[in-house]
Structure 1
Amino acid sequence: GACSEGRIYLCSVLSVRKSRAHQESRRKWLKVAFLVSSAVLVSLLSWSYLVSEDGVAEVLAHYSESLQDRFIEVPCSEDYDSHKRFEVLLCHSRLLFHAYQFVFFPPFYFCLLSQASILDLHSGALSVGKHFVNLYRYFGDKIQEVFTEEDFQLYRDVRRRIQQTIAQAFGISSSSMYLTKPTFFSRINSTEAKTTHDEYWHPHIDKVTYGSFDYTSLLYLSDYTEDFGGGRFVFMDVGANRTVEPRAGRVSFFTSGSENLHRVEKVRWGTRYAITISFTCNPDHGIEDPVLT
């Protein structure tokens, strides 16, 4: 009987010890699983943050690439239904993005060496802090000490080349496209925004923001990672962001409707220069090239 009871007691003790060992082992595995799942969650959150903030899901054009052509297909929106009365029906084309290296294009941002963020050559509007100054009115007869006719001719030549490139890519006549306002040089740095107009990084649709835009083009005048950090152009597509890294002389263009929601990343350091030149299919919204008067 004693032996029997002893076995029972021993079995009970072993059972308790095994139970405690099993619980300890289970706790360790739960702890490991918790740590692993936490690490995975942090990684996913970090990746999600990077994708949403920096648009790293897909890079359409790296700054180091010397591109000739690159095309991305996107579904058309209904923003162009009103254009059926024009000869050109927008967004029938497959093209979203095109990059062309203007190897001949010299630096043309001398006019932005001040703290200005936007300069419109057509109207002479120059942003200074919270206000706009009319550059032509301010300098008057001395404006030719700031600009030369060669500068304006260079601008016109570049505009014409961009227009022809867009027309060829979309398979339309360049005579059916009209330059539209605003066209402007932009200067962006890491200075803290002082007004809502300085907050360039918000997602937007050009046709909503500017109204007359049908085709938007951007000519970059400085290099990503060399002249500035951040400041990449991001197409915000469903499920993924598609990013263009600026390179001096590179042109990207796209239809301006809701199929191309986009934003610009915040510039973290340095200065980013670019020119925005856009076109319309409606001759009523067309403007002439700027002239030096």
Structure 2
Amino acid sequence: MAAGPDRGGRRHSSAKKSRGQQEPRWGWLKAAFLLSAAAIGGLLSWSYLGTEDGVTEVLARHSENLQDKFIEIPCSEDYDGHKRFEGCTPRKCGRGVTDAIITREEAERIRRIAERGLSLGGSDGGASILDLHSGALSLGKHFVNLYRYFGDKIQDIFTEEDFALYRDVRRRVQQRIAQAFGIHSASMYLTKPTFFSRINNTEAKTTHDEYWHPHVDKVTYGSFDYTSLLYLSDYAEDFGGGQFVFMDASSNKTIEPRIGRVSFFTSGSENLHRVEKVHWGTRYAITISFTCNPDHGIGDPVLP
């Protein structure tokens, strides 16, 4: 969605600034959308081909209201190549789904934050990103820093209450992950990328729009130890397709998004996954990622 007329002058004047400002050096953005090309290689190709036509099991249906569902699975060796942090680095691995920590009303409020922020820009293709931490915002075929690009206009888009809710939701997700894996919440650190995504069925214009490739978060980002997603729209009501798929050797395991639903999992190749292409409508979610390494931690976003 394009910005409104009242922002046009600022956008055009800003566009005259250096190309470096229009294309900030967020290394994670390139990694986030080139997931299968280099990070995964032949192993993922084999796993994808081996399961695409196999049995599919639905772990969480949109119609269900799940208090807590957790499945423990063996850990991969991905964590062995990284520094271990006792009391945090996964020794128990798995995946969970819950509808019990974020209310529908809170999720709707969070989605409105995403909608307002993404109304300032958006990708020319089907996948748009808004990162309140770094300021990264999809704009056409590039990314800009919305805090620098729109300046004081940001005060008209977001409020302190928006950011307070965002922080509170993040803390609750973090506490639930810690509880499920038997670790201390204080030993986990928010890490990048943590971002809103908006996906529709617009044809991909760049590799940044190719969100559907199978990937492993720990392989792609390195810092990730625990990954979570908060869904902000309803499968089969707000959009079609767009299911989250764990790709196991024996079968695919799918999660149907439901507004306020949180899915979480250890970030190694024990949880190879992908998102199906969205066929119609718009799918909103937040990826919230955690690391055990304080050197890779980031702070909560603060309204400028």
TM-score, normalised via structure 2 length: 0.76
For residues 133-144 of structure 1, the aligned pairs below 5 Å read 133-144=144-155
**Offset of residue 56 of structure 1:** 6.5
Query: Structure 2: how far apart are the matches of 1:185 and 1:94?
Result: 25
Give the structure with higher Rg (CA).
Answer: 1
Mind listing any 5+ residue stretches in structure 2 that lack a counterpart?
1-47
Which of structures 1 and 2 has the larger relative contact order (alpha carbons within 8 angstroms, sep 6+)?
Answer: 2
The residue type paired with residue 52 of structure 2 is S
Query: Is the aligned partner of 1:212 residue 2:223?
Result: yes
Where does residue 186 of structure 1 map in the other structure? 197
Q: Partner of 1:146 in structure 2? A: 157
Q: Partner residue of 1:52?
A: 52
The equivalent of 2:65 in structure 1 is 66
Determine if contact 1:129/1:194 at 8 Å carries over to the other structure: no
Match in the other structure for 1:37: none
Structure 2 counterpart of 1:171: 182
* Aligned equivalents of 1:88, 1:166: Cα separation in 2: 13
Taking the aligned partners of 2:259 and 2:182, their CA distance within structure 1 comes to 26
**C-alpha contact (below 8 Å) 2:240/2:280 kept by paired residues:** yes
1:260 equivalenced with 2:266 (yes/no): no
- Measured in 2, the distance between the counterparts of 1:225 and 1:165 equals 27
2:138 corresponds in structure 1 to 127
Deviation for aligned residue 1:72: 1.4
Counterparts of 1:77-88 in structure 2, within 5 Å, are 77-82=76-81, 85-88=84-87
Deviation at 1:89, TM superposition (A): 4.9
2:74 and 2:92 in contact (8 A); partners too? no
Q: Which residue of 1 aligns with 2:302?
A: 291
Shift of 1:73: 2.2
Unaligned runs of 5+ in 1: 1-47
Q: Which deviates further from its counterpart, 172-181 or 79-88?
A: 79-88
Cα–Cα, structure 1 residues 179 and 155, in superposed 2: closer, same or farther, change >3 Å?
A: same
CA gap 1:188/1:125 in 2 versus in 1, 3 angstroms: same
Contact 1:56 1:243 in 2 (8 A): no
3-state SS, counterpart of residue 229 of structure 1: strand
Q: What SS does structure 1 have at the residue aligned with 2:295?
A: helix
How far apart are the structure 1 equivalents of 2:66 and 2:88? 28
Counterparts of 1:249 and 1:56, CA distance in 2: 28
Seen in structure 2, the aligned counterparts of structure 1 residues 85 and 265 have a Cα distance that, compared at 3 Å, is closer
C-alpha deviation, 1:159, in angstroms: 0.3
Deviation of 1:92 after TM superposition, in Å, equals: 1.9
CA distance in 2, matches of 1:56, 1:149: 47
Q: CA deviation at 1:88?
A: 2.4
Distance in 2 between the 1:247 and 1:201 partners? Answer: 19
Question: Does residue 208 of structure 2 align to residue 201 of structure 1?
Answer: no
For residues 135-164 of structure 1, the C-alpha deviation after alignment (integer angstroms, 9 at most, x for no partner) is 101111221101111100010000000000
Contact kept? 1:83, 1:90, Cα under 8 Å: no
Tell me which amino acid in the other structure corresponds to 1:112: L
Distance 2:151 2:118 in 1: 18
- Whether 1:115 aligns to 2:148 is no
Percent of aligned positions that are identical: 75
Partners of 2:83 and 2:66 in 1: CA distance = 33
Aligned pair count? Answer: 244
Q: Which amino acid aligns with 2:95?
A: L
Q: 1:131 to 1:288 in 2, by over 3 A?
A: same
> Aligned-pair distance for 1:84?
6.1
State the alpha-carbon separation in 2 of the partners of residues 235 and 85 from structure 1. Answer: 25
